[in-house]
Chain A
Amino acid sequence: MTTFIVRRVLWMIPSLLVVFTLTFVVVHATPGSPWDESEKPLPEAVKQNLAKQYHLDDPLPKQYADYLINALHGDLGPSYRSVERSVSEIIAATLPVSAQLGLASMLFALLVGIPLGTLAAVKHNSWIDYTASFITVSGLATPPFVRVSLLVVALSLGVAWLPTGGWNGIWDVRSIIPTLAIGLGPAAILARYTRSSLLEVLGQDFIRTARDKRLEDVMIVVRHAMKNALIPVLTVAGVTLSNVITGAFFVERIYGVPGIGRQFVDSVTGRDYPLLLGIVLIFAILISVVNLLTDISYGYADPRIRYR
């Protein structure tokens, strides 16, 4: 197991480097900077000064090495757009907001997805199963920007229960729509996996034994089946995180949440390449770590799995 963890951690480094290097090269090959957009062309001297300030004239390998070394010290460079804040400061200010929103969405997904999948599996091929499957497919199929739009139309404009946008911390009512809009995707994934995994387990011999012993149905599902059925569901943790991150791009933008997803979108449309690069790096690390933890916890949860 220890060897597996060590190998897995070591494998994470090249994988991260590949994504980071690709992004770095792509971003640096991208022509144009935010200053091209101004209506008045800048004087040549000013441009040179700016290039010097941001080290744009250094050879690419040197820029790459400098960036990596600085990044390891927590310095992701200056933003092209923001005068008063560096990339690291922008991320430090916006990541906690998205983290709260992301955790709330995940919690929602767990509390809705797993019971929904369980119910669908236990009442296999009944109207409950079909209703659950319709909800699941709707959640899987609709992109987050459609979900948040429809939620705003229904809950804010239709019945006027909730505000149409803004952010005031996770405990404010304003966080309900973004949480639902992001969380419905992962909830659908969890429900689908729980259902198929539980169906498989319910067909196994030890469940029949439990039934023959006249154990109560609820006991069989909760004590015997769920324990085994939830292990494969662990594998989708990485997928659900991806879902939460890309969901945040749209939901934060539409609902006006000052999180890192909105910063990412703004960095793309505003050609703030250092910010874009920094955020991609943060996302890549986050996803790699979660994938790693998933693999490790999988091994602990299911003793039948042997790692080489």
Chain B
Amino acid sequence: MPLARRPTGLWRDAWHRLTRNRAAVVSLVFVVLLVIVALFANLVAPYPFERQDLESTDLGPSAGHLFGTELLGRDELSRMVYGSRISLAVALVDVLIVVLIGVPLGLAAGFFGKWLDTLIMRTVDVLLAFPSLLLVIVVITYLRAVLDQPTGPILSVIGGLDNLTGGLLGVFIALGLVSWLTVARLVRGQVLSLKEKEFVEAARMVGASNLRIMARHLLPNTLAPVIVAATFGIPGAIATEAGLSFLGLGVRPPLPSWGILIAEGVRNMRAFPHELLFPAVVLAVTLICFNFLGDGLRDALDPKLKVD
């Protein structure tokens, strides 16, 4: 009997499964909208985010200011629109860290084994045993103090960049410490089983180098779980930045990180609860959408896969 169904590729199948998941589709639309808003923030935002208007402070939501204004008369909606840039920059850097640090270290640990495996995985174990926010706060305390008064040429450059990005660089460095851990462990596990398969042996037979086996044969096979794990990592990274900024350890005012907006909202919540409500809800919805997207991708790419 001939095949009734046309053969389709993994990615096409995955896309079909993803688009059948309603929560994932809604989340994907939200994330795409958020990216557009962030990219074109200067066109979307009704006012410049730092423009103060002391005549109209602490206004409630109205046609002129959809989300109202805050203590200094700055438009809340505009600040949140620009704040999305910070959150998405953090998301992007988090994915870069996963791809550039987590994946190579996991590959190397799984492929070469022995002392390298022990070294990398023991480091991961120790760092994972403690709450990442605890480690991040300790590291960022150090970075804040060092980068504020940099000594030496290298630190001056880093400190300058940190200032230029309004304190984002410090957040990135702190994230770099913790956000690759789970992916490294995941990739190592995949490689451990993959490297015993026949196709790796075959590649070795025809004389492929270690590097080529890792890059051309092992890496593509770990792609699906890495995509899922990276998606699940994004909300954690965004929440970490917001949390640090909330505590005054992340992005510096007047840059409008959502964490800063929430911190200001908390200070003002008894008199003007909307100043807390809007940023808190937007942040929560963003994080929930990334999570649903991760769930959808996991089910679409490999129904048996478990990433928690």
Which A residues lie at the B interface, using CB under 8 A?
Answer: 15, 18-19, 23, 26-27, 29-32, 137-138, 140-143, 145-146, 149-150, 152-153, 157-158, 164, 192-193, 196, 238, 242-243, 245-246, 249-250, 253-254, 264-265, 268-269, 271, 276, 280, 283-284, 287-288, 291
Bound: A232/B235 CA distance, A: 25
- B226 within 8 Å of A by Cβ? no
Question: A30-B145, A150-B280 given as contacts; is B131 within 8 A of A269 (CB)?
Answer: no
Bound: A269/B243 CA distance, A: 14
Most buried by B among A145, A150, A196, A265: A145
Chain A interface main SS type: helix
A–B Cβ pairs within 8 angstroms, 21 of them: A15-B129, A26-B139, A26-B142, A27-B142, A145-B246, A145-B262, A149-B276, A152-B276, A153-B276, A153-B277, A157-B269, A196-B306, A246-B133, A246-B134, A249-B247, A250-B246, A250-B247, A265-B247, A268-B137, A283-B131, A287-B130
In the complex the two chains form, is B243's CB within 8 Å of A145's CB? yes
In the complex the two chains form, is A142's CB within 8 Å of B287's CB? yes
For A268, the closest partner residue in chain B by CB is B141
Instruction: Please name 16 further chain A to chain B contacts, defined as beta carbons within 8 Å, in addition to the given A15-B129, A164-B269, A243-B131, sorted by A numbering.
Output: A18-B126, A30-B141, A30-B142, A30-B146, A142-B287, A143-B239, A145-B243, A145-B262, A149-B276, A153-B269, A245-B134, A249-B133, A249-B247, A250-B246, A253-B247, A268-B247
Residues in A neighbouring B14, C-beta threshold 8 A: none
Residues in A neighbouring B266, C-beta threshold 8 A: 149, 254
In the complex the two chains form, is A143's CB within 8 Å of B134's CB? no
Question: A30-B146, A276-B141 given as contacts; is B131 within 8 A of A141 (CB)?
Answer: no
In the complex the two chains form, is A32's CB within 8 Å of B145's CB? yes
Residues in A neighbouring B134, C-beta threshold 8 A: 245-246, 280, 283
Q: Mark B234-265, 1 if CB is under 8 A from A, else 0.
A: 01000100110011110000000000001001
Minimum C-beta distance from A189 to chain B (A): 8
In the complex the two chains form, is B276's CB within 8 Å of A138's CB? no
Q: Which of B44-52, B81-89, B289-297 contacts A (4 or more CB under 8 A)?
A: B289-297
Minimum C-beta distance from B12 to chain A (A): 25
Residues in B neighbouring A245, C-beta threshold 8 A: 131, 134
In the complex the two chains form, is A280's CB within 8 Å of B133's CB? no
Q: Which 6 A-B pairs have the closest CB atoms?
A: A242-B131, A141-B287, A143-B239, A246-B133, A141-B291, A141-B288
- B270 within 8 Å of A by Cβ? yes
Minimum C-beta distance from B172 to chain A (A): 17
Q: How large is the interface on B (under 10, 10 to 19, 20 to 34, 35 or more residues)?
A: 35 or more
In the complex the two chains form, is B145's CB within 8 Å of A31's CB? yes
Question: A242-B131, A276-B138 given as contacts; is B243 within 8 A of A250 (CB)?
Answer: yes
Residues in A neighbouring B248, C-beta threshold 8 A: 269
Minimum C-beta distance from B247 to chain A (A): 6
For B295, the closest partner residue in chain A by CB is A137
Residues in B neighbouring A249, C-beta threshold 8 A: 133, 137, 247
Which B residues lie at the A interface, using CB under 8 A?
Answer: 125-126, 129-131, 133-134, 137-139, 141-142, 145-146, 149, 235, 239, 242-243, 246-249, 262, 265-266, 269-270, 273, 276-277, 280-281, 283-284, 287-288, 290-292, 295, 306, 308
In the complex the two chains form, is B133's CB within 8 Å of A150's CB? no
Minimum C-beta distance from B170 to chain A (A): 13
For A147, the closest partner residue in chain B by CB is B284
Bound: A104/B10 CA distance, A: 47
Bound: A18/B247 CA distance, A: 26
Of B141, B287, B290, which contacts A143 at CB under 8 A? B287
Most buried by A among B130, B133, B273, B283: B130
Minimum C-beta distance from B275 to chain A (A): 10
In the complex the two chains form, is B273's CB within 8 Å of A146's CB? no
In the complex the two chains form, is B288's CB within 8 Å of A142's CB? yes
In the complex the two chains form, is A149's CB within 8 Å of B262's CB? yes
For B242, the closest partner residue in chain A by CB is A143
For A242, the closest partner residue in chain B by CB is B131
Question: A141-B291, A276-B138, A276-B141 given as contacts; is B243 within 8 A of A152 (CB)?
Answer: no
Question: A137-B295, A153-B273, A196-B306 given as contacts; is B131 within 8 A of A26 (CB)?
Answer: no
For A238, the closest partner residue in chain B by CB is B129
Minimum C-beta distance from A249 to chain B (A): 7
Bound: A27/B141 CA distance, A: 8
Bound: A288/B131 CA distance, A: 11
